[in-house]
Amino acid sequence: MSETLPAFEMMVDVEPEDIDELGHVNNVVYLRWVQDVAMAHWKANAPAAEQERLVWVVLRHEIDYKQMAHLGDQIFARTWVGQATHLRFERFTELMRASDHVLLAKAITVWCPLDRSTGKPTGVSPFARAQFSAPAAPAVE
């Protein structure tokens, strides 16, 4: 995790509709939680003007499923933003069972900001960039 940016955390309850025919949380639900915690992070910390101006779309998800979650579990979701270019923001997410802190899944997602009025990719304000992206790694010579 980035040492300069704190993680955003929230709890999620496993609901009956999250369970698949194998009796555990369906993989698609983990992905929904990855998106939900990312959006909650944005809404909790982004300036109101940026929230009105921007909408985010996913360019890529990479998720590793480690353990199963079941009905009645509470899930501890933690996310933070890594490096960012002008239009691509790398976001990391960990999903853990709250009762024993077992890692259930981890994800890396690449997000792109769109101008809400035009639907076209656009940059974020300098303040939002400072709030939501880690410094770029130094170039190797």
- Residue 103: per-residue pLDDT: 98
Report the range of poorest mean pLDDT among 23-27, 89-93, 95-99, 136-140. 136-140
Residue 109 to residues 63, 72, 73, Cα–Cα distance (Å): 8, 27, 24
Question: Which pair of tokens denotes residue 14?
Answer: 């496993």
pLDDT in tens, 51-68: 999 999 999 999 999 999
Reference 12, options 96, 103, 68; nearest CA is: 96
Average pLDDT of the chain is 90
Domains present along the chain, CATH in parentheses = 8-132 (3.10.129.10)
* Residue 112 and residue 133 in contact, taking contact as beta carbons nearer than 8 Å: no
pLDDT in tens, 65-116: 999 999 999 999 999 999 888 899 999 999 999 999 999 999 999 999 999 9
Residue 9 to residues 14, 48, 86, Cα–Cα distance (Å): 16, 20, 26
- Residue 129: per-residue pLDDT: 80
Confidence category of residue 5, pLDDT binned at 50, 70, 90: low
